Copies of this chain bind each other. A is one copy, B any other.
Amino acid sequence: MAEPLDPRMFDPVCPSSAMPIQIGDKWTAMIVLCLEGGRRRFNEIRVPLRGITPKVLTQTLRAMERDGLVTRTAYDENPPRVEYELTELGRSLLTLIAAARAWSEHHLPALLEAREAHGPASASSRWSRGTESGSPQGRGPSFR
């Protein structure tokens, strides 16, 4: 819990960019993984989620709080300090995420291979990035 989050925790070049599995909205699963090791502060979570804007992080966390997946604790200090922590319910998503990762590990290569074999030119729709730029947009990095 004390250790800082690895900025490379989610690899933007990771093949699971193409993974056909999504938990919650775009960032939810990654946030759950960020909080797996214990409570984290707002800007702490932003680090591995490179590119997430504060607006989007706020609204995702608010939705997760509303759904009982995380708790938000604001300390009346200065500068302000807010900590987010997984609830039991949020923690229950970890097994599901693990299942998704397991599927990915076993079957994603086959999917990617099929995609490449089927239409090398037209394969640039849907889950893969349209352009060949490595910019962290598109569907964004998924959990690996």
Interface size class of A (residues with CB under 8 A): 35 or more
Residues on A lying within 8 angstroms of B by beta carbon are 20-25, 28, 63, 65-69, 89, 92-93, 95-96, 99-100, 103, 106-107, 110-111, 113-115, 118-119, 122-123, 125-127
Residues of B within 8 Å of A127, CB to CB, are 24
| A interface SS class | helix
A67 proximity list for chain B (CB < 8 A): 20, 111, 114-115, 118
Pair A107/B122 contact, Cβ less than 8 Å: no
A139–B63 alpha-carbon span in the complex (Å): 16
The 3 closest A-B pairs by CB, nearest first: A68-B114, A20-B24, A22-B22
Contact yes or no, A89 B107, CB < 8 A: yes
